[in-house]
Chains A and B, each alone.
Chain A
Amino acid sequence: MRPTLAEYENPQGTLIHPTVTARDVTADVIAPIFRLPPLTWWIGLGVAMFFLGMMLFTFTIQMCEGLGIIGLNHPVMWGSYITNFVFWIGIGHAGTLISAILFLFRQRWRTSINRSAEAMTIFAVMCAGIFPLIHTGRPWVDFWLFPYPNDRALWPQFRSPLMWDVFAISTYGTTSLIFWYLGLIPDFASVRDKAKNPIQRAIYSIASFGWKGTVRDWNHYERAYAQFAWISTPLVLSVHSTVSFDFAVSKVPGWHTTIFPPYFVAGAIFGGFGMVVFLLVPMRKLLKLEKYITINHLEYCNKIILATSMIVGYAYAMEFFAAWYSESLYERSQFIYRMTGPHAWIFWSMALSNCVAPMFFWFKGVRRSLIGMWIISIFVNIGMWFERANIFMLSLERDHLPSSWDHWVGTTFDWMVVVGSFGMFFTLFMIYCKVMPTIAIAEVKTVLVNPTGARDPADYHDAGAPPPATNRES
């Protein structure tokens, strides 16, 4: 008798239900590529593209009219664009953490979710990269940011953290993309060999780099994959640290603090996992992948959200402590302003969403409830956007010169771009769900208890095989 969906979703003692075979994995993961997408996919894509259009419309108007159309003023010269930039860069971090750091720690539960999390990273970095480029005001000369021999014989200012960002983000985007692509190659080959349509087969054959899956190839491939994990681990920790230097090396009250790098990295992982849960809960349902992205996998993500929420909450508290302990009037007034000023709702929304809402994950029932975790993931995403708004906008509103104090007020265009960036992200993600294997097929097969389906798992153990796959690698 075949297991029920509830049994598939809650495997006992294994990562994936013992009755799932290697052939099941290939068939189930590839099926959405070959079947027509459901109506919900078309509706979702349409809505996402509509929002994307809003962002492109705003950018077009900005090209013609200038940066004045958004709510920047003096002294708030970094408004919603930089908030979006840091928010999206942070979202990307969960993907790299899952694919690289959890790989090095031999956390085998990552195999079911790493592909989509890495895709999320790529798309989030793409969204993030747009904002500093468009924020320059003249994006058509953004190539000036790179050091190239030019008629003016000028070089970029390498002592500036903004230049560090150019290199950090472009390296992060490139490395994440090729790491993701390396993981996709054997799975593209699986799609290629199941494709009936010759055009599809040719496309996936090219995408798979002619992968044959010889043991010799796997030998090099696994080494390269592990090396990518080693390379990406310091990278993921450095990127958001570098982003935090944009602020921490300045003297603006509320920014000038040494806690920023670890605080930003923890916040990025927190927000990134919030987005992972937000995406995976509906995705597994729509693509019928509940066997592979089980409640257990999501619970692991929720535990990381809970842990990083406490780190972030600690960082918030330390900011206040440092402001008080420093005896700097500017620092103290900045943090009092955040809590009690006209934009205090931003601070309290952040605190509620990032420090209070995830505390429900202390309850196992909430950690394992799809609706519960999905609602909390929305809070996390909103909270992380407000966290950045709280840091950037509110700090700039109150600098060292009281005569220049002002309020940031977003225009319609600001909000169109905020929503539009989500539109761009979801457009890319939905297209990805249709054309690529959303689960790492070859990797998931390595955690199956009984890949052939022909044996009793106990026999397998007797034959000298590793014990049934649980989270920790033997």
Chain B
Amino acid sequence: MARVAMPYVMGFFADPLLFKDACLASSAAGHHGHEGFAPYPVHGLERALGYKRSWIGRPVLFMLLFGAFCGFMMQLWMMKIDWPLIIAGKPYNSWPAYVVITFESGILAGALTNLLLCLLVACRLFPTPNTRLPDDRLTDDLFCLAVPVTEHGSIAQLDQWMKERKGVERVEHYVPEGRLSNSSEVAHV
């Protein structure tokens, strides 16, 4: 959210269903760049906010297959090309015996790619000692819908729109200086 320096109007909800309704309303109202915070996954929230299905599936599948290919080729090269040895009368390319390590190499490559791609690339997360959320309850039982104030609207308009949402507990504004202030203060900005 803080990647773009623009004011945000944030509505806090306790009820996941009403929060989802607010997300749907935000999408219907054409709010671009809106974001939601949820303490736990709620079915359909990403679609309510207009997000597409996560893209990380295909790269992981590719790395899984690539890892398996590399695992097989490693064994083939070592056993047949680099130092060919006849062991127990088996052929140099004893491919059935290479299946296990081929499989494990693919799994390992896929699993590591899955983790790193999800955290570092897709979610852009990085270990940091001072993570702060707009409200500590956002990892407990509170939901938040943050709508950016673009040139097409004003804080007052969005504030009013947010307050009209059913189930909203409170509305706050985020201003680029990094200061959280309540709606009455920002009304004078």
Contacts and interface: CB of A to CB of B under 8 A. Distances in A.
Give the 6 A-B residue pairs with the shortest CB-CB distance, closest first.
Answer: A224-B118, A223-B54, A202-B129, A220-B122, A22-B141, A215-B36
Given A22-B39, A454-B14, A220 B56 contact: yes
A435 B24 CA distance: 39
A224 B51 CA distance: 16
10 contacts: A155-B83, A158-B78, A161-B100, A193-B139, A212-B133, A215-B45, A215-B46, A223-B56, A231-B107, A442-B41
Given A26-B141, A224-B56, A231-B111, A215 B49 contact: yes
A8 interface: no
Interface string A18-43: 00011100100000000000000000
Interface in B88-142: 88, 90, 94, 97-98, 100-101, 103-105, 107-108, 110-112, 114-115, 117-119, 122-123, 125-131, 133, 136-141
Contacts of A465: 17
B40 A215 contact: no
A147 interface: yes
A244 to B, nearest CB: 12
A429 to B, nearest CB: 24
B7 interface: no
Pick the most buried of B64, B88, B98, B130: most chain A CB atoms within 10 A of its CB: B130
A194 interface: yes
A347 to B, nearest CB: 30
Given A22-B39, A446-B40, A451-B16, A167 B122 contact: no
Interface stretch (A174-182, A269-277, A294-302): A174-182
A155 B140 contact: no
B139 A217 contact: no
B75 A158 contact: yes
B176 interface: no
Contacts of A171: 104-105, 107-108, 111
Given A213-B37, A218-B45, A159 B94 contact: yes
Interface string A143-157: 000010000011111
B149 interface: no
B90 A159 contact: yes
Contact of A213 (B14, B39, B51, B112): B39
A344 to B, nearest CB: 35
B111 A222 contact: no
B107 to A, nearest CB: 5
Interface string B10-54: 000011110000010000000000011111111101100101011
Nearest to A21: B141
Interface residues of A, number: 76
Nearest to B127: A206
B87 interface: yes
Contact of A186 (B40, B110, B126): B40
A182 B118 contact: yes
A327 B112 CA distance: 48
Given A155-B78, A218-B45, A228-B114, A213 B56 contact: no
Contact residues of A: prevailing secondary structure: helix
A171 B104 CA distance: 6
Contacts of A161: 100
Contacts, number: 217
A202 B131 CA distance: 8
Interface in A423-457: 441-443, 445-446, 451-452, 454-455
Nearest to A206: B127
A167 B104 contact: yes
Contact of A164 (B1, B14, B49, B101): B101
Pick the most buried of A190, A193, A245: most chain B CB atoms within 10 A of its CB: A193
Contacts of A203: 129
B104 A168 contact: yes
Contacts of A174: 108, 111-112
Interface residues on B, range: 35 or more
B114 A205 contact: no
A473 B165 CA distance: 29
Contacts of A182: 115, 118-119
B74 interface: yes
A163 interface: yes
A62 B83 CA distance: 35
A235 B56 CA distance: 20
Given A159-B87, A211-B125, A445-B40, A175 B107 contact: yes
Contacts of A26: 39, 139-141
Pick the most buried of B38, B90, B107, B127: most chain A CB atoms within 10 A of its CB: B107
Contacts of A1: none
Given A155-B83, A213-B38, A215-B46, A238 B141 contact: no
Contacts of B15: 452, 454-455
A216 interface: yes
Contact of A227 (B40, B114, B128): B114
A403 interface: no
A463 interface: yes
A223 B56 CA distance: 7
B83 A222 contact: no
A456 B87 CA distance: 71
A320 interface: no
A197 interface: no
B74 A217 contact: no
